[in-house]
Structure 1
Amino acid sequence: MPRTHLEAGAMPVHGAGASKSDAQTQRCAQARSLLFVPGNRPERFQKAARSGADVVILDLEDSVPAADKGSARTAIAREWAALQACDVPLVVRINASDTAAGEDDLAWLKGLNPRPAAVMVPKAESREALAAVHERLDGIVTLPIIESAAGYAALPSLAAAPGVLRLAVGHIDFMADVGIQCDEQESELAPLRFAVAIATRLNRLAPAVDGVTVQIDDEARLRIDAQRALRFGYGAKLCIHPRQVAMVHQALAPTEPELEWARRVIAADAAAEGAAVQLDGRMVDLPVVLQARRTMARAADSSTVRT
């Protein structure tokens, strides 16, 4: 089974021997919010970097018109050094690697110093193409977006490609590609989200990243979307506006009753020294303890607890 340096249980990257690049990659793996900012809007870069988002994605793809791709690269390069001072991992979303714009992005990225924490690869459909991006960029980890029927079909091989850190769902493009029309709960997309969750687990990747919520001012919709992502086992969500960041963090955090349950399960397990034990009339064994530990880990990753 494919394994990565971020397999569950692996030691975190830190200490005197760890490079800044390694630390940024680790933060990308643990990020809850990944905020897009168009590469041709440099006046928004600092606001995005100081928004509280765990990761900022400087976009060269969908949010940038074809005529502005070159100027977007220039703007990112010009602001790159200043953005380092914000101490937030920076990811660049390139154009599809089999396009002329994507080829230009890859050539340009080779000269960007320091290098980004990761590269987001849109319309991922080929393991070979993902591996080529990883190799060409001297081992930068990738965040492939699954946003087409071909990407869905290729999921097992995409998730196993060298250099993949975590998978992201691009459900808006996926709906357009497949012709799906969703209900309010997006139940038609459950097979896609489930398949990404399974591919993530089988390849021991960092938790998957769910797609954007396009209703920028609808906090209730954003909360519902983020909590659905959590139910599928995802650990993060793509954001398109700074005001979405805090709500995503809050929605992904455990509630106080969930935390209290987790504490009691872990305490009961410790008292039983690993043997099965009953708590509130429910059997507590290893799977239940693991669930409790995941709940505690979610709390550790968040400064917010939901009530």
Structure 2
Amino acid sequence: MLHLRLIVPTDRSEEVVRLLEGTVGTAHLAVLTGAARSPVGDVVLCDVAREAGDELIGTLRDLGIDSCGSITVDNVDLTLSSHADQAEQDAPGDGADAVLWEELSEATHEESTLSVTYLAFLAVATMLAACGVMLDNAILIVGAMAVGPEFGPLAGICTALVQRAPRLVWRSLSALIGGFAVAMVMTAGFAWLMDAFDLFTRSMVEGRRPNTAFIWQPDWMSFVVAFLAGVAGTLSLTSAKSGALIGVAISVTTVPAAANAAVAFSYEDYGQMWGSAGQLLANLGGIVLAGTLTLLVQKGLWATHRRRTAASKPVPSGGR
């Protein structure tokens, strides 16, 4: 279930209440007349089944409630109410399959910001991966994958392409490209510093590294793994039963590839550098393609389900 808290101008309150009462899947409607002070108006509260939430939120935005008041949505983990149970039964579809596009857009917008924190996480992850590839240590590679925040901008690109939001596309691309550029430059500097302290050596780069050699030797399996990870990651973001995102993070070699490219560049090993760059591009491309296709399929399936549900509703008396 979702909990909606609306601030509505008093003269629009009755209109919103009628909308909520007429929406299948709502329960626990309450109106606090004159309770809001900034902005001034009524506070309207209700719970709605997740599968009915996206359409209701869209209708409220069409009415301009987000402009003249506010719309706040919270996920409810536990609701003990027969009214809530009935609302979920009445609402079409399954809540786990429903995509809240407003929630997804907001989440990816926040995760796609080129902030200091984002750059710090990506730079630390890339330097940690550099230690992993130089020591041929798979555990460090996995840790670096888990720390990397790059899936946020990738999901932002996918969402923006499906929602046709060019500004979010450029914002996400800026965070992705700018973030990796800064992280790789810092990692190259980190490699030079480690070399000055004799902690990194050329023999580490040129030596045999059986545990991490795949990072600069891309093949079709690299793309396949990235594609599958993109599907899983997108489902994790859109589903109410999310939790697979950390598994996605440690299944693709975006950060390790960027790290190895930076280290190889610092030692003028351009063969490894270009191989790592190819691995990075294959992973990024696979995730974006898979994420976009997954969202398109979800959007299409849900639209089809809505049409079938609307067609199966009984026609009111006097209707044609």
Which range, TM-score by smaller chain? under 0.3
Structure with the higher fraction of residues in helix conformation: 2
Q: Return the TM-score normalized by structure 1.
A: 0.26
Which of the pair has more CA radius of gyration?
2
